[in-house]
Amino acid sequence: MSHTVESEKQASLRCRACESGQVMIISKYRYFIMTSIFPVIVTVAIAFLFDLLFLLFIPALLLMNLMIAERKTPLLICQNCRKRSRGHLTKTANPHN
């Protein structure tokens, strides 16, 4: 049921540049995970190759990525023109009301 609500919410948004209704919404936690996985893996690899003290950088890295995710989300990406914006899309009139 929540998937249907999200689908309807996403369908009611339109890109400001090309007026397309095909918009992908990236939430704060999805953005956080996407930006944190690779740096954490690299930090762990470096820690095991060189020195375990590099593991101390992981909490700072995660905190920094969380702060960036809070500032940059919700990230909206038009699937037609690939324009990215931070919630600057126009809502269309809902024909069901």
pLDDT at 12: 62
Between 83 and 6, the more confident residue is 83
Interval 1-16: pLDDT, tens: 444 444 555 446 777 7
Interval 34-46: pLDDT, tens: 999 999 999 999 9
Between 84 and 10, the more confident residue is 84
Q: What are phi and psi of 13, to 5 degrees?
A: -95, 145
Alpha carbons 40 and 32: distance in angstroms, whole number = 12
Interval 63-80: pLDDT, tens: 999 999 999 888 888 888
The answer, as to whether pTM is greater than 0.85, is no
